[in-house]
Structure 1
Amino acid sequence: MRYVSVRAVLLPALTVAVLTPPAWADRPPPAPGPTPASPVPAVARTWPVGVHPLVLRGWEPPATVYGPGHRGVDLSAPAGAPVRAVAAGRVTFAGRVAGRGVVSVDLSGTDLRTTYEPVTPSVRKGDEVGPGDVVGTVERTGSHCGTATCVHWGLRRGGTYLNPLSLLPPWLLHRGPPRLLPVLEVPLPS
Structure 2
Amino acid sequence: MQLTTVFLALALLWPVGPPAPEILRGWRPPPGPYAAGHRGVDLAAPPGTPVLAPAAGTVTFAGPVGGRGVVTLTLTGTGTPPLRTTFSPVTPLTAPGTRVAAGTPVAEAAPGTHCAAPCLHWGLLRGDVYLDPLLLTARPRSRLLPLDG
With normalisation by structure 1, the TM-score equals 0.67
| 2:2 pairs with 1:50 | no
- Shift of the alpha carbon at 1:38? 3.5
Residue 113 of structure 1 aligns with which residue? Answer: 84
Match of 2:3 among 39, 53, 60: 39
| 2:107 pairs with 1:143 | no
Cα deviation 1:34-90 (Å, max 9, x = unaligned): xxx932532243211112000000000111111110000000011111000100000
* Greater helix proportion: 1
Contact 1:82 1:138 in 2 (8 A): yes
The 5 A counterparts of 1:1-190 are 38-39=2-3, 41-42=6-7, 43-51=10-18, 52-110=20-78, 111-140=82-111, 142-146=112-116, 148-170=117-139
Contact 1:50 1:77 in 2 (8 A): no
Contact 1:44 1:169 in 2 (8 A): no
Residue 188 of structure 1 aligns with which residue? Answer: none
* Greater strand proportion: 2
**CA-atom RMSD, angstroms?**
1.5
Secondary structure at the aligned position of 2:95 is classed as coil
Q: Which has the larger radius of gyration?
A: 1
Higher relative contact order (CA 8 A, sep 6+): 2
How many pairs align? 133
User: Aligned partners of 1:98, 1:77: CA distance in 2, in Å?
Assistant: 20
User: Aligned partners of 2:3, 2:107: CA distance in 1, in Å?
Assistant: 28
User: Aligned partners of 1:46, 1:167: CA distance in 2, in Å?
Assistant: 7
- Shift of the alpha carbon at 1:112? 0.3
Which runs of no fewer than 5 residues in structure 1 stay unpaired?
1-36, 172-190
Residue 181 of structure 1 aligns with which residue? Answer: none
Contact 2:13 2:136 in 1 (8 A): no
User: Aligned partners of 1:59, 1:45: CA distance in 2, in Å?
Assistant: 18
Cα deviation 1:104-159 (Å, max 9, x = unaligned): 0000001100000001000000000110000011102x20102x110000000000
User: Aligned partners of 2:11, 2:66: CA distance in 1, in Å?
Assistant: 28
User: Aligned partners of 1:63, 1:45: CA distance in 2, in Å?
Assistant: 28
Contact 2:74 2:84 in 1 (8 A): yes
The code of the aligned residue for 2:3 comes to P
Residue 145 of structure 2 aligns with which residue? Answer: none
Which runs of no fewer than 5 residues in structure 2 stay unpaired?
141-149
How many percent identity over aligned positions? 53
- Shift of the alpha carbon at 1:169? 3.1
